[in-house]
Amino acid sequence: QREAVKSREKELKAGWELRFPKADAQGMKFPGIRFYLLHTLAHMLITQVSLECGYAASAIRERIYCSRKGERGALPMAAILLSTGSSGSEGTLGGLVNQGRKIEHHLHEALRRAKLCSHDPVCGRQHAHEGTPGRALLGAACHGCLFIAECSCERSNQYLDRALVVPT
């Protein structure tokens, strides 16, 4: 409900409309600000957890469960699932499942690390409705802070905005 979040949502929606100008005719809908928040947080957590659990970030996958605000007939949900489909020698520093017991620590560290990107101030000032069409679905996000291996991301490193989660 914060004004800053509502303002950022308008910017992200404007970028989405630039990328999908015929969305209404195709039955497509803007995924919503909650999806951007959850997806961004999932990428932050994947990076953070991979540093401590022994799995490569590319071995951890995300699944975002998010209904749109006010969506008719949908159960209200907002959740992140991190999983791995690989087995073997990775994960010897406590495994991915065990990291759930330290979720508060991982959230704190992920948020702390996300405040600064090696490409700031350029990255932190990105707006979806400005710039190149290839960035229309992105806010403050780049290879320095949020992008992960595309095999790990269910949305091909789109629908991300660090500025929604932390001050940039």
Residues 4, 80, 78, 64: what is their CA dihedral angle, to the nearest 10 degrees? Answer: 90
* Digit-coded pLDDT (tens) for 13-72: 999 999 998 888 888 999 999 999 999 999 999 999 988 887 888 889 999 999 887 777
* Digit-coded pLDDT (tens) for 76-133: 899 999 988 665 555 555 577 788 889 999 999 999 999 999 999 999 998 887 767 7
With CA atoms as reference, report the closest residue to 20 among 137, 130, 131, 132.
Answer: 137
